[in-house]
């Protein structure tokens, strides 16, 4: 898992100057990204004792693949408490107090299988049970479990052969991509980036990253004036979009953090949605 906090700090002065995020949200993201790094280290230490069943073909993880032991349940409960604290500290407008007394292990089980199956219905039930907004619960669950899945992904990633998997779902966890990158140095290859476990995988250039449509006439992209670094690839078959970072020839792909780029390109989401596109 990349150290998002460092990338975010480096990008902060420019982003503030350009007014990319509300001024009071930078400290929240710094705390959130530091949280990811700290939890990633904590979960990595648990991985050897965790029972993970790998599917014979990608995605490597399927619903039921991850069995929580006592240690993992305790670590996840601690992770949830820390995250609820961060959200409470920064006036995010979210009220998650009900999660403080909730049985973390139960929510973890529901959320893990909801993400692995991409079926969010069980989380919707949990949200009304705790009187939390559905979007808020998904946001919290995603950020809570992201370092946990990233720790698992780090150990199983090598099972996936990059040139045998050209699907829009993550080959490790099956979840949706949140960003793409095109690397000039890598012969213009496109990679998708998992919104959950942060695995990156190769994906065809001329193919919708949501519905797999390959009809070039229905594919296009939106650009922002004066911004050659980003574009939004859109599909008129499914009306989906994905934000893309174009990495120039002399820049290493590792010098770009797509999780941070996703946060700092909120304006592109607004532009795409205004034109009638949405993302899963
Ligand atoms: Zn993934
Ligand atoms: Zn599409």
| Residue where one domain finishes, among candidates 92, 127, 159 | 159
CA 38–ligand 2 middle distance (angstroms): 36
In a domain, 280, yes or no: no
CA 97–ligand 1 middle distance (angstroms): 28
Residue range(s) defining the domain that contains residue 239: 162-274
Residues 114, 135 within the same domain: yes
In a domain, 35, yes or no: yes
Tell me what pLDDT residue 102 has: 87
CA 154–ligand 2 middle distance (angstroms): 29
Residues 51, 141 within the same domain: yes
In a domain, 181, yes or no: yes
Residues 18, 152 within the same domain: yes
Residues 19, 124 within the same domain: yes
CA 217–ligand 2 middle distance (angstroms): 12
Tell me what pLDDT residue 97 has: 85
Q: φ, ψ for residue 197 (rounded to 5)?
A: -95, -5
CA 140–ligand 2 middle distance (angstroms): 28
| Residue where one domain finishes, among candidates 131, 159, 187 | 159
User: Which ligand approaches the C-alpha of residue 58 most closely?
Assistant: 1
- Where the chain has pLDDT below 70, the residues are 186
Report whether 150 contacts 1 (CB < 8 A): yes
| Residue where one domain finishes, among candidates 98, 128, 159 | 159
Residues 89, 9 within the same domain: yes
Residues 31, 169 within the same domain: no
CA 196–ligand 2 middle distance (angstroms): 21
Query: Which residue, 137, 146, 39, is CA-closest to 96?
Result: 137
CA 225–ligand 1 middle distance (angstroms): 32
Query: Which residue, 174, 187, 238, 182, is CA-closest to 208?
Result: 238
Residues 152, 172 within the same domain: no
Q: How far apart are CA 204 and CA 208, in angstroms?
A: 9
Domain at 171, CATH number? 3.90.1670.10
Span 68-85, pLDDT tens digits: 999 999 999 999 999 999
Q: Number of structural domains, the chain? A: 2
Residues 67, 11 within the same domain: yes
Tell me what pLDDT residue 28 has: 96
Tell me what pLDDT residue 40 has: 98
CA 249–ligand 2 middle distance (angstroms): 28
Residues 28, 61 within the same domain: yes
C-alpha dist (Å) from residue 81 to 30, 97, 104: 18, 10, 9
In a domain, 226, yes or no: yes
Residues 191, 134 within the same domain: no
CA 177–ligand 1 middle distance (angstroms): 8
CA 239–ligand 2 middle distance (angstroms): 6
Q: How far apart are CA 245 and CA 111, in angstroms?
A: 29
Residues 41, 125 within the same domain: yes
CA 196–ligand 1 middle distance (angstroms): 5
Residues 174, 133 within the same domain: no
In a domain, 174, yes or no: yes
């Amino acid at each position: 898992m990349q150290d998002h906090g460092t990338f975010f700090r480096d990008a902060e002065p420019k982003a503030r100057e350009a007014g990319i995020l509300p001024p009071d949200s930078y400290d929240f993201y710094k705390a959130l990204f530091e949280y990811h790094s700290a939890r990633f280290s904590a979960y990595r230490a648990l991985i050897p004792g965790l029972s993970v069943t790998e599917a014979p073909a990608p995605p490597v993880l399927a619903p039921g693949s991850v069995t929580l032991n006592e240690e993992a349940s305790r670590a996840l409960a601690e992770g949830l408490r820390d995250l609820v604290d961060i959200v409470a500290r920064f006036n995010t407008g979210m009220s998650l107090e009900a999660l403080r007394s909730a049985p973390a292990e139960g929510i973890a089980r529901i959320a893990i299988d909801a993400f692995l199956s991409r079926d969010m219905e069980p989380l919707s039930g949990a949200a009304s049970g705790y009187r939390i907004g559905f979007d808020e619960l998904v946001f919290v669950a995603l950020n809570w479990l992201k370092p946990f899945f990233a720790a698992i992904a780090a150990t199983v990633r090598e099972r996936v052969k990059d040139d045998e998997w050209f699907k829009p779902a993550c080959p490790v966890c099956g979840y949706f991509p949140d960003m793409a990158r095109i690397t000039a140095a890598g012969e213009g290859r496109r990679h998708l980036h998992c919104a959950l476990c942060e695995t990156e995988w190769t994906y065809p250039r001329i193919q919708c990253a949501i519905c797999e449509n390959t009809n070039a006439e229905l594919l296009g992209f939106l650009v922002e004036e004066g911004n050659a670094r980003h574009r939004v690839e859109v599909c008129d078959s499914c009306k989906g979009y994905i934000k893309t970072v174009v990495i120039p020839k002399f820049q290493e792909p590792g010098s770009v953090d797509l999780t941070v780029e996703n946060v700092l390109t909120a304006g592109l989401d607004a532009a795409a949605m205004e034109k009638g596109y949405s993302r899963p």
